[in-house]
Amino acid sequence: MEKAFSYRFYPTTEQESLLRRTLGCVRLVYNRALAARTEAWYERKERLDYVQTSALLTKWKKQDDLQFLNEVSSVPLQQALRHLQSAFTNFFAGRAKYPNFKKKRNGGSAEFTKSAFRWKDGKVFLAKCNEPLNIRWSRRLPDGVEPSTVTIRLNPAGQWYISLRFDDPRDLTLQPVDPSVGLDVGMSSLITLSTGEKIANPKHFNRYYKRLRKAQRSLSRKQKGSRNWDKARLKVAKIHQKISDSRKDHLHQLTTRLIRENQTIVIESLAVKNMVKNRQLARSISDAGWGELVRQLEYKAQWYGRTLVKIDRWFPSSKRCGQCGHIVERLPLSVREWDCPKCGAHHDRDINAAGNILAVGHTVTVCGAGVRPDRHTSGGQLRRSRKSQK
């Protein structure tokens, strides 16, 4: 199974100078190629591909004002053109928007294939570097494994990270267990389990809100582009990075626990991009990290031999009575507990939703994907969607 481990590393002064020049060259080549492809289409109705942009790169290296492109490894520059080709492929397939130009303040990344780095005695030597990178090994690669691709990344907070991609030959499948669990995500409680347990939402953004507001105000008073503005921008970026790191660390601990304790995990397929369009809830939804939670559950279930089931997002898990199946007409978010008008059962909104999610997850596992409620029946009977019937 192909995996990638990310590590923090601390370059020397010479290494940092070379890496920053490499990132700058990668950004320049990517932006020039994107501009050339855009201009070719709008002016001459021509489509340039990777081969043609690679030929342009050869011409650029011969120009007097672009001789610095020859001072860095050529592999990251070629990889930048390949990434641009992938971006256009996704755009034409309708999977992504039109590619954007890369900005310096966002940091940047550079990808090195096997011809541009050396792996020796558990150390990484990049092209044009005589010393190995000082990597903080939070976990070692499996014995006998060598990385196939190395990606260097500089985040907006000025921190350096390296990602090592490799093929893992190990079988990490965990021993089968009996429990299955349904998860209902929320904001007051990050997730509610069908067992009745509620995991509190740490609300990482609120912990750093005062510091972030003070730093943002300081940044707004600086002249954009000045040295003091850049220092203030770096302070803001570091606070944002702390929020992101603390959120991701909490989600890693939570998802690992869920994977180890349960054989099957059922969750709703959420459209987070659409949900954050609500201006009143956008910050809380983004801070909860629902998308990252599902992403981690997906790849960890694949790694460790667990089953992750996603049910239709339109399934009325909160409005459906877990006892008799009756679906109420309206249930505002402010209502956290309710009584079924048909059977009189008292429900906690989140626990009832998690139980319904688990129940329909078992149905999806047996009947196949695409099971969703029939909105025309008050009892909430399940039916197959049209896609699954074809």
pLDDT tens track for 117-143: 999 989 999 999 989 999 999 998 998
Annotation marks residue 287 as catalytic? no
Is 85 among the domain residues?
Answer: yes
Is 386 among the domain residues?
Answer: no
Q: Do residues 157 and 208 both lie within one domain?
A: no
pLDDT tens track for 2-23: 999 999 999 999 999 999 999 9
Q: Do residues 139 and 101 both lie within one domain?
A: yes
Residue among 296, 255, 9 at smallest CA distance from 136? 9
Is 102 among the domain residues?
Answer: yes
Asked if pLDDT for residue 42 goes beyond 50, the answer is yes
What is the Rg, in whole angstroms, of the alpha carbon atoms belonging to the chain?
A: 25
Provide the whole-model pTM: 0.85
Is 283 among the domain residues?
Answer: yes
Q: Do residues 184 and 242 both lie within one domain?
A: yes
Q: Do residues 188 and 124 both lie within one domain?
A: no
Q: Do residues 125 and 251 both lie within one domain?
A: no
Is 377 among the domain residues?
Answer: no
Q: Do residues 156 and 70 both lie within one domain?
A: yes
Q: Do residues 14 and 156 both lie within one domain?
A: yes
Q: Please give the single-letter amino acid code of residue 15.
A: Q
Quote the CA–CA distance of 162 and 154 in Å, as a whole number: 9
Quote the CA–CA distance of 346 and 352 in Å, as a whole number: 9
> 201-214: string of b/e by CB count within 10 Å (b at 16+)?
bbebbeeeeeebee
H-type alpha helices, 185-278: 204-207, 209-220, 227-261, 272-275
Count the alpha carbons within 13 Å of 284 in the hemisphere toward its beta carbon.
Answer: 11
Enclosing domain of residue 295? 180-367
Residues 6+ apart with CB under 8 A from 234: 157, 158
Q: Do residues 45 and 113 both lie within one domain?
A: yes
pLDDT of residue 163: 97
Q: Do residues 115 and 230 both lie within one domain?
A: no
pLDDT grade for 344, boundaries at 50, 70 and 90 = confident
Residue among 167, 184, 249, 329 flagged as catalytic = 184
Quote the CA–CA distance of 56 and 33 in Å, as a whole number: 8
Is 173 among the domain residues?
Answer: no
Q: Do residues 203 and 78 both lie within one domain?
A: no
How many domains, in total, are found in the chain? 2
Annotation marks residue 39 as catalytic? no
Q: Do residues 19 and 59 both lie within one domain?
A: yes
Residue among 268, 298, 337, 374 flagged as catalytic = 268
pLDDT grade for 374, boundaries at 50, 70 and 90 = very low
pLDDT tens track for 167-212: 999 999 999 999 999 999 998 899 999 999 999 999 999 999 999 9
Count the alpha carbons within 13 Å of 200 in the hemisphere toward its beta carbon.
Answer: 3
Residue among 131, 146, 350, 374 flagged as catalytic = 350
Which range of 263-267, 329-333, 361-365 scores highest in mean pLDDT? It is: 263-267
Annotation marks residue 337 as catalytic? no
DSSP state of 57: H
Q: Do residues 215 and 256 both lie within one domain?
A: yes
Asked if pLDDT for residue 257 goes beyond 70, the answer is yes
